[in-house]
Amino acid sequence: MDTHGFRDSAEGSPRSLLAELAQLTPGMQQRAPQLDRTADFPTEDIDLLRSLGALAAPLPPELGGMGWGTRPEGAAGLMQALRLLGQGNLSVGRLYEAHVNALRLVVRFGTPDQVGASARDAMDGHLFGLWVTDAPQAPLRLQDNGILCGSKAPCSGAGYATQALVTARLPSGGSHMLIIRTPGRECADRTGWGTQGMRSACNGLVELDGVRPTAIIGAAGDYLCQPDFSAGAWRTSAVTLGGMEALVTEMRRQLVKRERHGDPHQRERVGKALIAQETARFWVARAAIFGEAHDGDAKDIASTVNLARIAVETACLDVLRIAQRALGLAAFRQGELAELLLRDLATYLRQPAPDETLAEAAAHFMQRAVPETP
């Protein structure tokens, strides 16, 4: 441990880190409603992740991590971690998932020096954001003088993530990945986010005028490189799965508490919700293996994860509908855990281009068998 209480690496085994994360889940769930009310950043939860070494866990083992998101053998551990965080607080899961993605991209495309620098930052406890969506009125570009001009929005962890991987156009043309030390909280404007859920992910617009990137990662277009670009969606699905599991658990708990669990209609709903949840779990486990594989046919990998993404979305939408019917107005009462989970899940499910995702996967597998899980 250093003087801030940070561990200098993801110590211990993935199994023990997962056990420690599982112990955090109830506390995260307890803190989530208050954080949602005030739309505050989950500082305590991220501090706890940091103190456990979870922010360093995405690094490859030789750099002090557990390969979560950077090694095929880290897939199972990362899936459990994302699921646990989703169970605790979907906003925390979203922040961690972006952190993993940013480090993964640096490890995948960065030079050894760049990887070493980001690894040290992760071990020092920095939380990375992944800000790739341009604010429509001010797309981000790197000027000839090496300084950025423009904004990103929406950015999870706006004003709180201390480093970020962003995409920007370079003077030479093409979109590149850059690492930045994020500007102060005064450059984050959260007034425009205003969505009904995921409020403590602290999404907002971040103005990056005048920021000098610390690194340019990879070549133009690497961010969109397949299958990584599509396959990364499995991590969002894993967090979603955790939230879905928390909602099904809460639904069962409330039915028992209100002595409505013996009713045959409610039992049918619980059965259908459990089937949807387990369907999602099978798909996420399969997508994790494909998404983290370092070999295999790129289109098979991307299309398999695309199918998983839509399968999980569909299962989750089913669970939202079932939970509303099962709990009635209680599912809409502010301050209730179910109400928060319904809002957060409905918001988090809105990921880019779902029609295209399904259509592309269907086109790929139209005349080709869907691969079996290795």
Ligand X SMILES: Cc1cc2nc3c(=O)[nH]c(=O)nc-3n(C[C@H](O)[C@H](O)[C@H](O)COP(=O)(O)OP(=O)(O)OC[C@H]3O[C@@H](n4cnc5c(N)ncnc54)[C@H](O)[C@@H]3O)c2cc1C
Q: What's phi and psi for 148, nearest 5 deg?
A: -80, 155
Is 195 or 214 the residue whose CB approaches ligand X more closely? 195
Shortest Å, Cβ 345 to ligand X: 10
Counting contacts by CB under 6 A, is residue 94 touching ligand X? yes
Piece of the chain touching ligand X by CB under 6 A; list 21-29, 57-65, 128-136, 210-218: 128-136
CA–CA separation, 364 and 154 (whole Å): 31
Contact residue for ligand X among 155, 239, 316, 338 (CB under 6 A): 155
Interface with ligand X includes 115 (CB under 6 A)?
no
Place of tokens 């992760």: 122
* Cβ at position 60, least distance to ligand X in Å: 24
C-beta of 90: minimal distance to ligand X in Å?
A: 8
Does position 244 bind ligand X by CB under 6 A? no
* Binding range to ligand X, per CB under 6 A, among 17-25, 205-213, 276-284, 348-356: 348-356
Grouping H, G, I as helix, E, B as strand and the rest as coil, residue 128 is strand
Binder among 352, 366, 367, 372 for ligand X (CB under 6 A): 352
**323 and 251 Cβ atoms separated by less than 8 Å:** yes
**Cβ atoms of residues 55 and 92 within 8 Å:** no
- Select from 21, 66, 132, 311 the one that contacts ligand X (CB under 6 A): 132
Of the residues 113, 191, 353, 367, which one makes contact with ligand X according to CB under 6 A: 353
Residue closer to ligand X, measured from CB, 144 or 355: 355
Angle at 360 between CA 355 and CA 362, to 5 degrees: 95
CB-based contact 337:33 (threshold 8 Å):
yes
Q: Which of 329, 355, 366, 374 binds ligand X (CB under 6 A)?
A: 355
The site map against ligand X for 171-210 (x = CB under 6 A) is ---------------------------x--x-x-------
The residue (of 66 and 105) whose beta carbon lies closer to ligand X is 105
Stretch that binds ligand X, among 31-39, 152-160, 256-264, 297-305 (CB under 6 A): 152-160
**Cα(58)–Cα(70) distance, integer angstroms:** 6
3-state secondary structure of 282: helix
Q: Minimum distance between the CB of residue 317 and ligand X, rounded to whole angstroms?
A: 13
Tell me whether residue 98 or residue 119 sits nearer to ligand X (CB atom). Answer: 98
- Tokens describing residue 81: 């971690």
User: Which of 267, 254, 248, 261 minimizes the C-alpha distance to 336?
Assistant: 254
Q: Which two tokens stand for residue 367?
A: 């005349």
Residues 6+ apart with CB under 8 A from 307: 283, 358, 361, 365, 370
CA separation, residue 163 to residues 21, 84, 280 (Å) = 23, 24, 32
> By CB under 6 A, which span of 27-35, 112-120, 154-162, 320-328 interacts with ligand X?
154-162
Neighbours of 186 (CB within 10 A): 8
Least CB distance to ligand X at residue 157 (A): 7
> SS in 3 state form for 347-371?
HHCCCCCHHHHHHHHHHHCCCCCCC
Size of interface with ligand X, in residues (CB under 6 A)? 21
Taking CB under 6 A as the binding criterion, the range among 26-34, 149-157, 264-272, 284-292 that sits at the site for ligand X is: 149-157
* Residue 131 contacts ligand X per CB under 6 A: yes
Is 312 in contact with 241 (CB distance < 8 Å)? yes
- Tell me the closest approach of the beta carbon of residue 91 to ligand X, in angstroms: 8
Of the candidates 73, 70, 71, the residue with the CA atom closest to the CA atom of residue 100: 70
Interface residue with ligand X among 18, 347, 361, 364 (CB under 6 A) is 347
Residues that bind ligand X (CB under 6 A): 94, 98, 129-133, 154-156, 198, 201, 203, 347-348, 350-355
